[in-house]
A and B are shown apart, each in its own frame.
Chain A
């Protein structure tokens, strides 16, 4: 391994490892405050997630949505932009996927219906992402605040549509889609029976690979990263910074929106109010822990999905809310250790005689 590559690895790996250790200590304290043994709880957590097929299926299902939102947030950060809107982009994507699935007649074959629904999902998220893009480029409105505010506006709009027009009476969801359903993993591997994991998983992996290719092997991706590192230098080098910002936020929104297929096409086959359930906000954590690299994002998505599913698994011993506390601790610890690790590594690498 070249020394440059090793440095990159150290910089990427140390913060999550430090965070994990801090989270373990916090977890121990919480578990002991509840009068339980940490070892027993952690064993239960692992057995309930990676230890059996159903638990593992649930981890894969949750990791699928988090991969999409994590990728979405990282594309933004690579361009120097913070998309806090993945939550509503995910919801809008799921909503349009369901609308497309309802509009198509049941006779439309899956090879046609599924891509159409996926396209609708990406379009839904992309439109929500494009709004902060336009407002930033044309008016200089800060994307962090605009995306946060848009979350509330878009979710209120979708809730209004569901509550008043599109729902099955007495529920907050639409009727089941006629076309575009994505099969569950249990259809191929019997052991996954009952878990929500579905073939959206493959779409997530392909999206991660495409995101890697786009970021590190394409001209547009190079421009995007250049703008993220040094917007002024990129502008001087002939890159249209505004154009990159707009495309980055739109693409980020589209990827988050595509995540809507996991629930709508793969699991319930309808849109339901609140299905995003925080996966958009957690995407920020996933991007942060995954260091904005597609491979890191996939691993971080698996980690946070394990924590979330693990919380349910240990509920007999300690409240499942423990997992939520640990999520917060991990995010804080990673955010705090990233600049610290960078500084420490830089110092240790400085030649002694220089």
Chain B
């Protein structure tokens, strides 16, 4: 979505001026379309040593009829670069990354992808290996900042023995679904991923519930989950029922009017999902409110209501939704954090408390033995500046700055957040657990 600045630098005069002054020029990002190829252009796949993930990715891409190359030919423009550094053991090994990626950076198409694959530093054997594994994060984030024209760079860290779980993440990062995901680290660990019958409908046959589905990001989540094949239970407060009905009818789901803070909210959601749709596979805790005030002026009701809706309701509903008769084994829980929960935000102590709390919840739930045994994954998205009705009300200057303070020089769209959530919701992402992925275009805030 174009802001005033983006509009100006797209005009003939603005374009010239921006180029001369070296100002950022946001481009229209490549986003998912059913009929579009997974990647736009050939993909260079390379790696260090036996590079097991690179081999996997080559097979995956070839099965999709994507052109896979080993080096940049003169005059070709690449759609993506995938570098497997899983066998990196010493700082000297990083030279492979430099020598592979450096020559490609001037040969990338708009909205190209750089995907670096490594091992988790937590599994490292010795000081040097740990250090070099962590180096990959610094390199990837720096590449993200160097890239232009909608291109992104992300790092995938694969735990030992978890190579088989990497496919959905590689697909996500290469595709238009990850348009506004930049400079992120995604960890792939244990879990048994199930490949969907049709990658165009990775959620076919699944039942999802989305809270706060009446408008904005929530409505977009419902739409993307339904597009990917899920039946969606759309939940919002009774007073938002008119917009909620629109969402539910648009996605062919059902509308459930309830306040997530009600004591019986979890039970009612579960009953609805089970009686109407035969079960529950995906829970997206998206409902959230803001009641901004500087802490100096913050009253107890603003404080309590934000914590109640954004955090306490999730804890309470999960007792039922994740109980023995709740979500099916192998199900997926997705929470919505915020960049404010990572970086903090002036006037948002209450909101940041709730959104940082969500991250703490992901940490605890994703390592919970009972949930792990049941194969239930728990992840979160942390949106940055997303163009919604809410951000449209932000004062002009603040809004323009918010749009520009990231590597893609633009705000994200609700669908960008929704795409990441849908990726977490796939059974193919069973090995993706405990991640907090920022959908922020590599925002400078809290980076």
* Bound pair (A, B): no
Residues of chain A at the chain B interface (Cβ within 8 Å): none
Residues of chain B at the chain A interface (Cβ within 8 Å): none
